[in-house]
Chain A
C-alpha cells in the first residue's frame, strides 16, 4: 500500500482551514507537515507526542473511541488512532471546509490498508 506519509495525507489536507497535520507510525516515528506558520512541524510533532500521552484518558472508555476532538475557540485538534499503531492528528480552524471534512478524513484513515 502507498506510504500515507508521502502520498495519502498530503492529498487529503489541502482544504482551507488546515493548520497542520501529522502521522505517527507504529514504530513511533512522527512525520508532520505545516500548512500555516502558526503551527510549524515541530509544534505538530510535539502535539502528536502529547496526544499519544493522552490515550490513557480514554483507556477505560468502552467501546474504544474512534477519534477525539479537542475544541478551542480558534482551532480544533482531531486525533484518531488505529489498532495497528498508526495515529493521525490534524489541526484546523473551526467552521472551515477542513473542519467539516474531518469526519470523512478520519473514516478514510481508519479504513486505509497500511504497512506496519
Chain B
C-alpha cells in the first residue's frame, strides 16, 4: 500500500526473516528500514539494534500492534527513530505513510525531540487528528509540563503549566524546544475545547506567529468561538502540506499537486514584492471572491490553503 501511496516513487523491499532482510540491506541502497516487532529467530528490537551498529546512518522504524512502554523504550534505545502502532484502517495507513515520508525527508535540526523526533509537535497533532486517533501528547521542557488530549481525531483538552484549554494549547505550541511523547489515550478530568481541530490549530498557530498567545485572563467563551466553529463548517477546500510538498491533509482539493505548486508560486511572488517594498516576512495571501474567501500560507515548513464560503446560507464556492 505504501508503494501505491507514494505514487510509485518508493521502492518497497520485503523480507520474511531477519537474514533475508539483512541480505537486502547488504545488496541494495536502502533509505528506511521498517521492522516488525514480531520476527522469527530474533525480535524486531534485537534486529534493529544489530542493524544500527552495522548501518548507523540508516533510519529505522519499529512497527507493532503491541504498544507497551517497555517495548517503546527498548526500540528507541536500540536505535529506532520511531515506534509506531500498526494502523487498523486506510486512514491510519495514510497517517503512517505520512510519518514515514517525514522521516525520510528529515534532517536533524533544533526543536522538539522525542518518540516522533523527526517531526514537529504541530505535525504530530495534525497527524493524530487526520488519522482520527485517540492519544495523549505529553510535552515537557525545563519550564513547562503539558498534555494535549486527542480523542477520535478531535482535540478535547490541553493543560500546560497553570493554563487550560486553548491558551494551554497555544502556549505548548509556542515552546521553542523540549520533548514530547505520544502515550495511550486516557480521558481527561475535564474537556475544555470543542471546536474542530482545524480551527483550534489555525487559531493557535496564528497567535503563536503573531506573538500574542494569550497567557492570562479568562478562557475564550462560546460566543467568541462560535464564528470560528461556523467558519470551519463552511470550509470548502483545505490543503496542508509540509514545506517540501508532502501532503498532510487534503479535503475538497481537486488538484492538490497544482495547488501546491500554486502556493509555491505565491511565495515567489510575495518575495518579489518584498524586494521592491520591504515589509518583513510574508505571512499570508488573502483572496476575496464574490462568494467567499481563501487564505494561503507558503512557508519553509508548511504550505496551507483554505477556502471558505461566505455564510451558512451562502453557496459553497
Cα distance A3–B51 when bound, in Å? 76
Check if A57 is an interface residue, CB within 8 A of chain B.
yes
Closest beta carbon of chain B to A96's beta carbon, Å:
13
Binds B, one of A7-15, A23-31, A66-74: A66-74
Chain B facing A: main interface SS: mixed
- Is A73 in contact with B280, judged by CB distance below 8 angstroms? yes
Check if A88 is an interface residue, CB within 8 A of chain B.
no
Interface residues of A in 55-109 (CB under 8 A from B): 57-58, 61, 63-77, 91, 103, 106
Q: Could you say which of A64, A67, A69, A91 contacts B277, with CB atoms under 8 Å apart?
A: A91
CB neighbours of B289 from chain A (8 A): 61, 63-66
Q: Could you say which of B269, B277, B286, B288 contacts A71, with CB atoms under 8 Å apart?
A: B286
Check if B93 is an interface residue, CB within 8 A of chain A.
no
CB neighbours of B269 from chain A (8 A): 50, 54, 57, 70
Cα distance A69–B276 when bound, in Å? 16
CB neighbours of A70 from chain B (8 A): 269-270, 273, 282, 285
Number of interface residues of A (CB under 8 A): 31
Closest to B284 in A: A71
- Is A72 in contact with B282, judged by CB distance below 8 angstroms? yes
Cα distance A65–B283 when bound, in Å? 19
Closest to B255 in A: A60
Number of interface residues of B (CB under 8 A): 24
Closest beta carbon of chain B to A22's beta carbon, Å:
11
- Is B287 in contact with A61, judged by CB distance below 8 angstroms? yes
Q: Could you say which of A50, A51, A63, A72 contacts B291, with CB atoms under 8 Å apart?
A: A63
Chain A CB within 10 A, most for which of B266, B273, B277, B288: B277
Interface residues of B in 143-172 (CB under 8 A from A): none
CB neighbours of A106 from chain B (8 A): 288
Closest beta carbon of chain B to A33's beta carbon, Å:
14
The proximity string for A residues 24-44 relative to B, scoring 1 for CB distances below 8 Å and 0 otherwise, is: 000000000000001100011
Q: B residues touching A (Cβ–Cβ < 8 Å)?
A: 262, 265-266, 269-270, 272-274, 276-277, 279-291, 317
